Amino acid sequence: MRNRLLFIIPALMMLVALGPLPYGYYQLLRLVAFLSAGLIAYGFLRRRREGWTAVFVMVALIFRLFGFPRGT
């Protein structure tokens, strides 16, 4: 169940993010997506699934490295 929440929580937050929300919500979303993708990548690494590990490491890096400047 906990593993499913790592997928479900960021997905629901991204759906909510389609509406107009304060900037702080999008900052929180970036953090949650980064942490979730990192934990998912670690789980795949422990199971020796290198392909999926690489995919989720890239997702984590995208959410961590690329932020939107305030006002866009």
3 or 45, higher pLDDT: 45
Q: Greatest CA span in the chain, whole angstroms?
A: 42
What pLDDT digit, counting tens, does each position of 29-66 carry? 999 999 999 999 999 999 998 999 999 999 998 888 77
pLDDT of residue 63: 85
Number of C-beta neighbours around residue 57 at 10 A: 17
* Nearest Cα to Cα of residue 37 among 14, 70, 68, 20: 14
